[in-house]
Amino acid sequence: MEVAETKRLKHYNNKEKILLVGEGDFSFSLSLAGAFGSASNLTATTLDTREELERKYKNGKSNIEELERLGCSVLYGVNVHSMTTKHNLGGSAIYDRVIFNFPHAGFDYGRYPVGFKTISICDFDFGCCIEYVSGFRRHQELVRGFMKSARMLVKDEENGGEIHVTHKTEYPFKEWKLKALGEKEGLQLIREIEFCLNQYPGYSNKRGNGGYSDSSFPVGKSATFMFEKQFFY
């Protein structure tokens, strides 16, 4: 059914078909739905099972129930590297926007493949002192795999399709080099816009793994990186 009135929240509106991946407690999806007055244009996904999500996030269950009441399609067990194999995501080149906020591959605390060099960094944003893989390969692989999969699901550039990744822009996170990762997967960075948490009412970003899954972290200086498909790839 055609939506008569356009309702917006920052870069998004209720006439766009939006896929959200890697949702924590689904509060970002709910923030969009609240602004739109409906979630019928949203598909929100998580790698967690329903049981895992309810165990990890105190507001997870209530957020999902409200999203479903507003017409959102909520999907569990969605790996961002293999989204194209999920038939319930609807097929190829159908989404106006595919969104991944603050991707992170988690912490393995020193368990890396042979030959990887590591550097020790105190990551106060995540509340611990950890050992990072030099070059941040695990995190880059997460993002690059997402981009490859998302590229198949988003509309072509002539139809206005965009892939959005919100990410910190200061060291060490800037070393992930999102622009270069996108280029390797046939995506062109068209905009980089400062991300302000308070512009999304109700959104609570989450660490997502370990004993502090339900805790937020300071987003600091962050931006939403907006990509479109490159015509020649």
63-106 pLDDT, tens digit per residue, is 999 999 999 999 999 999 999 988 888 778 899 999 999 998 76
Are 178 and 116 contacting, i.e. CB atoms less than 8 angstroms apart? no
Please, which pLDDT band fits residue 211 given cuts at 50, 70 and 90?
Answer: confident
CATH number of 8-229: 3.40.50.150
Please, which pLDDT band fits residue 111 given cuts at 50, 70 and 90?
Answer: very low
Domain boundaries, the chain: 8-229
Beta-carbon neighbour count of residue 92 at 10 Å?
12
**pTM: predicted TM-score of the whole model, two decimal places:** 0.87
pLDDT above 90 covers a percentage of the chain that reads 70
